[in-house]
Chains A and B, each alone.
Chain A
Amino acid sequence: MDPVYVKNLTKIYGDTAALKGISFNVNRGEIYCLVGPNGAGKTTTFRILSTLILPTSGEAYIEGYSVVDEPEKVREVISYLPEDVGTYKNLTGYEYLKFVASVYFRDHRSILDAIKRGIEISDLTDEELNRPMKTYSKGMKRRIQIARALMVEPRIAILDEPGSGLDPVQKHYIRKIIKLYAKREGTTVLMSTHEMAEAEEICDRVAILYSGEIVARGTPKEIIDRLGESSLEKAFIKIVSSSGDGI
Chain B
Amino acid sequence: MIKDPRIWIPVLISFIIFPVIGVIQNSFLTGQFQQAVEKPINVGIILSGNRYEENLLYRVLNSISERYGINLNIYRGDGLDSFDALVIIGFASENAIPRYSSLIIYTASPQLLGGQVVLSRIQSFINEAAAIALSDLQGIDRATLESIRNPVSHLSVPYIKEKNALALVDPREFISISFTSLTIIIIIAMISILIAQYSAISMAIENEEKTIEVMLTMPIKRSYIILGKLTASGFIGGLSILGFVVGFTVYSKIFLESFTSAGARGGDGSGGGYVIGETIPRMLRDIVSQIDPDIKIYGSISEALQPNPIYLPLLTIYILVAIITMASIGILIGGLSSDVRMAMTLSSNLTLPIIFVSVALAYINIEPGSILSKILISIPVISAVAVSKVALIAQPTMDMVVYLALNLFISMILVYVSGRVLDIEIMERMNRKLSSMRLLRFRR
Q: Which residues of A contact B (CB under 8 A)?
A: 47, 50-54, 72, 75-76, 78-82, 84-91, 100, 103-104, 145, 148
Bound Cα distance A215, B377 (Å): 63
| Beta-carbon nearest neighbor of B213 in chain A | A82
Contact yes or no, A80 B5, CB < 8 A: no
| Beta-carbon nearest neighbor of B426 in chain A | A53
Known: A52-B425, A80-B213, A87-B211. 12 other contacts (CB 8 A): A52-B216, A53-B425, A72-B221, A79-B217, A84-B210, A85-B210, A86-B210, A88-B211, A89-B209, A90-B5, A91-B3, A103-B218
Q: Of the candidates B3, B210, B213, B217, which one forms a contact with A75 in the assembled complex, judged by CB atoms under 8 Å apart? A: B217
Bound Cα distance A132, B211 (Å): 15
Contact yes or no, A104 B219, CB < 8 A: yes
Residues of B within 8 A of A76 (CB): 219
Bound Cα distance A42, B436 (Å): 26
8 pairs of A and B residues whose beta carbons are closest in the complex: A86-B210, A86-B209, A80-B217, A76-B219, A75-B219, A82-B213, A52-B424, A50-B217
Bound Cα distance A90, B205 (Å): 11
Residues of B within 8 A of A51 (CB): 216-217
B152 interface residue per 8 A CB criterion:
no
Residues of B within 8 A of A78 (CB): 217
Bound Cα distance A158, B210 (Å): 17
A75 and B218 in contact, given A53-B425, A90-B3, A90-B4 (Cβ under 8 angstroms): yes
Interface flags, B209-237, vs A, CB<8A=1, else 0: 11101101111110000000000000000
Bound Cα distance A100, B3 (Å): 16
| Beta-carbon nearest neighbor of A47 in chain B | B424
How distant is A158 from chain B, measured CB to nearest CB, in Å? Answer: 8
Residues of B within 8 A of A148 (CB): 214
How distant is A75 from chain B, measured CB to nearest CB, in Å? Answer: 5
> Which residues between 40 and 91 of chain B lie within 8 Å of chain A, taking CB atoms?
none
Bound Cα distance A150, B205 (Å): 24
Q: Of the candidates B4, B211, B424, which one forms a contact with A86 in the assembled complex, judged by CB atoms under 8 Å apart? A: B211
Contact yes or no, A85 B218, CB < 8 A: no
Bound Cα distance A52, B424 (Å): 6
Residues of A within 8 A of B214 (CB): 80-82, 85, 145, 148
Bound Cα distance A90, B202 (Å): 12
Bound Cα distance A89, B205 (Å): 9
Contact yes or no, B425 A54, CB < 8 A: yes
| Beta-carbon nearest neighbor of B424 in chain A | A52
Contact yes or no, B425 A85, CB < 8 A: no
How distant is A36 from chain B, measured CB to nearest CB, in Å? Answer: 20
Interface flags, B176-217, vs A, CB<8A=1, else 0: 000000000000000000000000000001001111011011
Contact yes or no, B209 A87, CB < 8 A: yes
| Beta-carbon nearest neighbor of B2 in chain A | A90
Bound Cα distance A20, B225 (Å): 33
| Beta-carbon nearest neighbor of B4 in chain A | A90
Residues of B within 8 A of A47 (CB): 213, 424
| Beta-carbon nearest neighbor of B207 in chain A | A86
Contact yes or no, A52 B210, CB < 8 A: no
How distant is A184 from chain B, measured CB to nearest CB, in Å? Answer: 23
Bound Cα distance A84, B221 (Å): 23
Residues of A within 8 A of B211 (CB): 85-88
A sample of 28 cross-chain residue pairs with beta-carbon separation below 8 angstroms, ordered by A number, consists of: A47-B424, A51-B217, A52-B213, A52-B216, A52-B217, A52-B424, A53-B424, A72-B219, A76-B219, A80-B213, A80-B217, A81-B214, A82-B214, A85-B210, A85-B211, A86-B208, A86-B210, A87-B209, A87-B211, A88-B205, A88-B209, A89-B4, A89-B209, A90-B3, A90-B4, A91-B3, A100-B218, A103-B220
Bound Cα distance A104, B218 (Å): 8
Bound Cα distance A89, B6 (Å): 11
Residues of B within 8 A of A85 (CB): 210-211, 213-214
Residues of B within 8 A of A53 (CB): 424-425
Contact yes or no, B218 A82, CB < 8 A: no
How distant is B205 from chain A, measured CB to nearest CB, in Å? Answer: 8
Bound Cα distance A47, B423 (Å): 12
How distant is A148 from chain B, measured CB to nearest CB, in Å? Answer: 8
Bound Cα distance A27, B4 (Å): 42
Interface flags, B403-443, vs A, CB<8A=1, else 0: 00000000000000000000011000000000000000000
Interface flags, B2-16, vs A, CB<8A=1, else 0: 011100000000000
Contact yes or no, A103 B216, CB < 8 A: no
Contact yes or no, A103 B219, CB < 8 A: yes
Residues of B within 8 A of A87 (CB): 209, 211
Residues of A within 8 A of B213 (CB): 47, 52, 80, 82, 85
| Beta-carbon nearest neighbor of A160 in chain B | B213
Residues of A within 8 A of B425 (CB): 52-54
Bound Cα distance A80, B218 (Å): 8
Bound Cα distance A76, B205 (Å): 25
How distant is B231 from chain A, measured CB to nearest CB, in Å? Answer: 16
Bound Cα distance A100, B219 (Å): 10
Bound Cα distance A156, B209 (Å): 25
Residue of A54, A75, A87, A90 contacting most chain B CB atoms (<10 Å) = A90
Residue of B4, B214, B216, B217 contacting most chain A CB atoms (<10 Å) = B217
Q: Of the candidates B3, B4, B210, B221, which one forms a contact with A82 in the assembled complex, judged by CB atoms under 8 Å apart? A: B210
Bound Cα distance A47, B425 (Å): 10
Bound Cα distance A78, B213 (Å): 13
Residues of B within 8 A of A50 (CB): 217
Bound Cα distance A76, B220 (Å): 9
How distant is A43 from chain B, measured CB to nearest CB, in Å? Answer: 10
Residues of B within 8 A of A75 (CB): 217-220
How distant is A122 from chain B, measured CB to nearest CB, in Å? Answer: 15
